[in-house]
Amino acid sequence: MISAPVLEFATVGLGLLLLLIEAFATTLPRRTIAFAGILGLLAVFVATFFVATPPPNGGFWNFYTADPLALFFKRFAIITTILVLLMMIDYAPVVRAFVHGATTEAGVGEFYALPIFTCAGLMWMASAIDFIMIFVSLELVTVSFYVLVGFMRRNAASLEAGVKYLILSAVSTGFLVYGITWIFGVTGETNLARVASAVIAGVDRGPALFGMALVLVALGFKIAAVPFQIWVPDVYQGAPTPVTAFLSVGSKAAGFVVLLRVLAPFFMLPEVQRLLVGIAVLTLIYGNLAALPQNNLKRLLAYSSIAHAGYLLIGVVAFAGNAIAFYLVAYLLMTILSFAVLVVVSQTGGDSIENFDGLSRRSPFLAFAMLIAMASLAGVPFTAGFFGKFFVFDAAIRQHHIALAAIGVITVACGFYYYFKVVRAMYWEAPVANTAIPVSALTRVAMVALMIAIVVLGVYPTPVLNALR
Amino acid sequence: MVTLGDYLVVSGLLFTIGFAGVMLRRNIIIIFMSLELMLNAANLSLVAFSRARLGPNGLPDYNAQVFVFFIITVAAAEVAVGLAIIVALYRARQTTHVEDISTLKF
């Protein structure tokens, strides 16, 4: 049995070790660093199953918890990072082309090492129950994402995405700390449980709500909710594709964990509920409508990620932790799968939907993987995406948010149109070329595993639903 | 006598000036300076709140003051990475104006 914080320290140690290997073992093939990272993360993943029950509160445990929710999202972060690292191995040629250095391999090693620090940040965030801890771990994630988004220094789009992400993310940080300041000012506490008891005991509502609204702005930015979504399409399009996938899954999941934890003390206030319903409705409508005319697949997935934030927000309004956790797992599987196919296909052309024309005849395997991913994103029955939406709507109806659930169902129909635009291009258009697209064996295995997971969870969702109990 | 309210007004002003600077200015370096102003507004009000809440032993609440140190450290890290990205942008484009950064359509 190990103490829970050891997991994060091991992850940070792994990242530092990989950076040292990168710096000193100059002749080592860079790919080895990625494999070492994946193996190290797998070891940490196994270790999450042997975590000792934490002692009752006191000292360090006022900042940090190892409850089932935290452990669940630690595993979530590790799996996401492993899949992103696999994608990065496929993406390395593009990075090499846009980072110039003393050798052709310059920069690739850091590209493999940085996600591990992000992963450590995500894991800490899953456990954070104090505003100070939340702030610091959120910043560990954000600062490492700054570097990753703008990583391709000679690529105009990547740099521009980096600058935009930097500025807008820093603004959201400003809102977060200022909001925390006010919550601290009213309650005199930074620990979430004690903030909750202070709010129940009765506090000055005006300043408390003001602080909470500012914190909601900052978290809305992280989860890409309307009206704080302006950065999403540009940053998603410009960033290196594996980083886009990481942003859309990791950053969003972390945002929702923090949202669930932070909202708990304030949830009984009707103003907060109304605010959340408003944001959810706007996010659902904007994300789905803006995705309709997109022709660039990365941009389409960016708007789709906004739309999914809307469905997840329905779960938040109903405060259904299990439904949100299941949705995030389904979202992880289908988003990573679609980005993995995109990484492979885009290297033969570009990110547009036209590059997928006739893919079913060029590479039936890739086309089928994309079909599964798109069907699940749209919410076709017998895929994980269907149950994700089902549980969220179900929770909303139980809480008598009928109108919200109705808007959700209508926007799902809208989603079918743009997801099946990709499917139509793959199966009904004439191919742009006749050459098959090469897929490495490792990527193939990962894609098959993701497809199986999507279908299995679409038929038998119980294991994930029970993981939180 | 300077009261808690006075400090909060100053910190609110700092935050507003910082946010207005981010929204209105067009030079990325100035935008970055305004961002620091927003963080410092939070620092000021945290210290003010901490001084205003003297504990039973007459000492201020140190939670907030520790938080200030964390904010200062994180802000420094953010500046280090942020300026590096801005320098890379300047090398590629010879500009730090936001109007010139429009490869990706909004």
In DSSP notation, A147-204 reads HHHT--TT-HHHHHHHHHHHHHHHHHHHHHHHHHHHHHHHHS--BHHHHHHHHHH---
* pLDDT value at residue B105: 62
> What is the pLDDT, as a whole number, of residue A469?
67
Beta-carbon contacts of residue A55 (< 8 Å; ≥ 6 apart)? A61
- Best A125, A141, A163, A228 residue to mutate vs chain B (most B CBs within 10 Å): A163
Residue A85 pLDDT: 96
Which one has a higher pLDDT value, A205 or A151?
Answer: A151
Could you tell me which of A254, A99, A129 has the C-alpha nearest to residue A190?
A: A129
What is the pTM for the complete model shown?
A: 0.94
A135, B104: Cβ pair inside 8 Å? no
pLDDT at A383: 94
pLDDT in tens, A381-396: 999 999 999 999 999 9
- Which residue from A146, A171, A234 is facing B35, i.e. has the nearest CB? A171
Q: How many residues does chain B have?
A: 106
Min Cα distance A150 → chain B (Å) is: 7
- Are B31 and A167 in contact (CB < 8 Å)? yes
- From CA A283, how far away is CA A289, in angstroms rounded? 10
Q: How far apart are CA A453 and CA A84, in angstroms?
A: 17
Distance from C-alpha of A368 to C-alpha of A356, rounded to nearest angstrom: 12
Q: Could you give the CA distance from residue A406 to residue A400 in angstroms, rounded to a whole number?
A: 11
Span B4-100: which CATH code? 1.10.287.3510
pLDDT band for A240, please (50, 70, 90 cuts): very high
Peptide bond into A461 cis (omega under 30): no
Least confident window among A37-41, A163-167, A274-278, B55-59 = B55-59
- Find all residues with CB under 8 Å of A28, minimum gap 6, and list them: A21
| Distance between CA atoms of residues B106 and B99, nearest Å | 12
CA A219, CA A224: separation in Å to the nearest integer? 8
Asked if A210 is an interface residue toward chain B (Cβ–Cβ < 8 A), one would say: no
Per 3-state DSSP, chain A is made up of helix, strand and coil in percentages (nearest 5) of: 80, 0, 20
- Tens-digit pLDDT profile for residues B10-43: 999 999 999 999 999 999 999 999 999 999 999 9
Residue A269: strand, helix, or coil: coil
Please answer whether residues A131 and A108 qualify as being in contact, where contact means their C-beta atoms are separated by less than 8 angstroms: no
Q: What is the overall mean pLDDT for chain A? A: 91
Flag if B104 and A157 touch (Cβ within 8 Å). Answer: yes
Nearest CB partner across the interface for B35, out of A142, A170, A184:
A170
| Mutate: best of B7, B69, B74, partner A, most A CBs <10 A | B74
By three-state DSSP, how is residue A296 classified? strand
**DSSP per position, A355-400:** GGTTHHHH-HHHHHHHHHHHHHHHT-TTSHHHHHHHHHHHHHHHTT
pLDDT band at A197 (very low <50, low <70, confident <90, very high): confident
Instruction: Determine which of A261-275, A278-292, A312-326 has the lowest per-residue pLDDT on average.
Output: A261-275
Burial class (CB in 10 A: 0-12, 13-18, 19+), A349: middle
Average pLDDT over residues A124-135: 93
d(CA A386, CA A377): 8
Tokens linked to A121: 């940040």
User: How many angstroms separate the CA atoms of A379 and B2, rounded?
Assistant: 59
What's at A150, amino acid-wise?
G
CA distance A105 to B105: 31
| Chain A: closest CA distance from residue B46 (Å) | 6
**If pLDDT is split at 50, 70 and 90, which confidence band does B100 have?**
confident
Checking if the pLDDT of A210 tops 50, the result is: yes
Q: Which residue, among B4, B8, B29, B63, would best test binding to A if mutated, counting the most A CBs under 10 Å from its CB? A: B63
pLDDT over 70 at A442, yes or no: yes
Q: Tell me the residue type at A312.
A: L
Report the amino acid identity of residue B25. Answer: R
Please name the member of B11, B35, B46 whose beta carbon is closest to the beta carbon of A184: B46
Residue B97 DSSP SS3? strand
Cβ of B81 and A146 within 8 Å? yes
A234 to chain B, closest Cα gap in Å: 6
Range A444-448 contact pairs with CB under 8 angstroms and sequence separation of 24 or more:
A444/A365, A446/A83, A446/A86, A446/A340, A447/A337, A447/A340, A447/A341, A447/A365, A447/A369
pLDDT per residue as tens digits for the range B40-98: 999 999 999 998 888 778 788 888 899 999 999 999 999 999 999 999 999 888 888 88
Nearest to A250 by CA among A78, A57, A456: A78
Across the interface, do A174 and B18 touch by the CB < 8 Å criterion? yes
Q: Which two tokens stand for residue A385?
A: 């995406």
B45·A170 Cβ contact <8 A: no
8 Å CB contact between A345 and A354: no
Q: Buried b vs exposed e over A230-239: b needs ≥16 C-beta within 10 Å? A: ebbbbbbbbb
- Angle between the A252-263 and A205-223 helix axes, to the nearest 10 degrees? 160
Question: With 60 as the cut, is the pLDDT of residue B106 above it?
Answer: no
When pLDDT is cut at 50, 70 and 90, the band that residue A136 belongs to is: very high
Contacts of A106 (CB under 8 A, 6+ apart): A99, A100
Amino acid in position B75: A
* Closest partner CB to A160 (pick from B39, B46, B101): B101
Residue A240, preceding bond cis, omega within 30 degrees? Answer: no
> Residue range A239-256: average pLDDT?
93
Q: Do A143 and B78 touch (CB under 8 A)?
A: yes
**Measured between alpha carbons, how far is A12 from A369 in angstroms, rounded to an integer?**
33
Q: How many CB atoms lie within 10 A of CB B72?
A: 12
Contact A178 B15 (CB under 8 A): yes
The mean pLDDT value for A276-296 works out to: 93
The minimal CB distance from A157 to the residues B31, B93, B103 is found for B103
Rounded-to-integer distance, Cα A176 and Cα A179, Å: 5
Which residue among A132, A156, A170 places its CB closest to the CB of B103? A156
Chain CA centroid to CA A126, Å = 13
Residue A168 touches partner B, C-beta closer than 8 Å = no
In chain B, residues with a C-beta closer than 8 Å to the C-beta of A204 are none
Contact B15, B38 (CB under 8 A): yes
Q: Computed from CA positions of residues A244, A127, B79, B97, in that sequence, does the dihedral angle turn out positive or negative? A: positive
- Count Cα atoms within 13 angstroms, Cβ side, for A311: 33
